[in-house]
């Protein structure tokens, strides 16, 4: 994989595209003007590569080569380029054909914290702190601090938004004891999850099947499409990744959901690659697809729940 990324896949100021052809590396455009760099998706990739770099730490020749190749990729990402000519915010996309036409700023609170963490950590193309404060934190506008279902929510939209906000960046970033000017991230990850669970258990929209054991709203397949489900965008579809990827935050509630999905819904929801992406018991429907971006957090967060392995590896990076 690393050799393919280093030698074959196209890079745009060191960053990779959102989608690529798995054989040739060629960009598969994500949308009309998005046929180049995606700095957010690149940050998830680099987070994984740095985690692997820390794991393969022996003097074995193959491991030395792997670490060197990962460092070439990591050091090649021009994070500061994505400030779009020095602005105090990062921008999501850049295209060799359309420039900054997509023009979406990377701002919180959402899934993109690791993009700023890595941009700040870079020893080659780093960003200064004001880019984080003005850009990601929006000069404090990410702060919420309201209480929902008895839980204080430090950051984000009303009722927390989709649960992937607490999964993607936190596959590597360890929220335990992590505090900055805006939030305690242990409180954020746990309470956002507990609000999502409490909302599903309360089931204010009366969807058949929602319960304390059958819960979890996040981005997923839905009948005929895709949406970022949340308590404020609830279409009756539960995604297993939402509850299971929250195991480190809500171990009791997440394990209850996992057992419900596996033992009660069984082969309607479980297939060759694990759980299917989503389901609806109100208007009965079960997805027949698997999404890697939903399966990956399940695997990673099970390991963080069991041993903290990925958290410990990523946070052991001296740069980070």
Closest CA to 269 of 206, 216, 194: 216
Distance in angstroms (rounded) separating the CA atoms of residues 320 and 301: 20
> Which residue is it, tokens 């971006």?
293
Pairing of strands 143-148, 105-106: unpaired
Separation CA 67–CA 12 (nearest Å): 22
Question: pLDDT value at position 204?
Answer: 98
Q: Which helix (H) or strand (E) holds 38?
A: strand 37-38
Mean pLDDT by runs of 10 across the 320 residues of the chain is 97 97 95 96 98 98 98 98 98 98 97 98 98 98 98 98 98 98 98 98 98 98 97 98 98 98 97 97 97 96 98 98
| Cβ contacts of 263-270, under 8 Å, gap ≥ 24 | 264/214, 269/240
Give the residues across from 147 on adjacent strands: 152
The pLDDT assigned to 30 comes to: 95
Three-state DSSP class for 310?
A: helix
């Amino acid at each position: 994989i690393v050799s393919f990324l280093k030698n074959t896949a196209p890079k745009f100021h060191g960053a990779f595209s959102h989608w690529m052809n798995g054989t040739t590396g060629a960009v598969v455009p994500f949308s009309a003007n998005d046929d180049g760099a995606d700095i957010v998706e690149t940050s998830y990739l680099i987070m994984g590569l740095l985690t692997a770099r820390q794991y393969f730490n022996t003097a074995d020749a193959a491991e030395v080569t792997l670490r060197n190749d990962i460092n070439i990729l990591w050091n090649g990402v021009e994070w500061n380029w994505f400030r779009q000519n020095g602005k105090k915010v990062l921008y999501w996309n850049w295209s060799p054909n359309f420039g900054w036409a997509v023009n979406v700023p990377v701002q919180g609170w959402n899934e993109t914290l690791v993009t700023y963490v890595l941009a700040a950590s870079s020893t080659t193309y780093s960003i200064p702190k004001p880019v984080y404060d003005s850009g990601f934190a929006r000069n404090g506008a990410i702060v919420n601090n309201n209480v929902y279902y008895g839980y204080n929510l430090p950051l984000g939209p009303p009722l927390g938004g989709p649960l992937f906000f607490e999964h993607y960046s936190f596959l590597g970033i360890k929220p335990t004891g992590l505090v900055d000017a805006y939030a305690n991230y242990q409180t954020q990850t746990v309470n956002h999850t507990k609000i999502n669970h409490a909302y599903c258990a309360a089931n204010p929209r009366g969807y058949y099947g929602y319960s304390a054991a059958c819960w979890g709203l996040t981005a997923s397949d839905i009948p005929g499409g895709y949406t970022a489900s949340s308590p404020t965008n609830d279409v009756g579809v539960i995604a297993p990744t939402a509850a299971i990827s929250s195991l480190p935050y809500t171990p009791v509630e997440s394990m209850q959901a996992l057992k419900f999905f596996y033992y009660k819904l069984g082969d309607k929801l479980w297939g060759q690659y694990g759980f299917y992406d989503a389901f609806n018991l109100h208007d009965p429907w079960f997805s027949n697809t698997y999404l890697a971006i939903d399966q990956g957090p399940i695997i990673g967060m099970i390991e963080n729940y069991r041993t903290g392995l990925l958290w410990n590896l990523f946070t052991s990076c001296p740069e980070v």
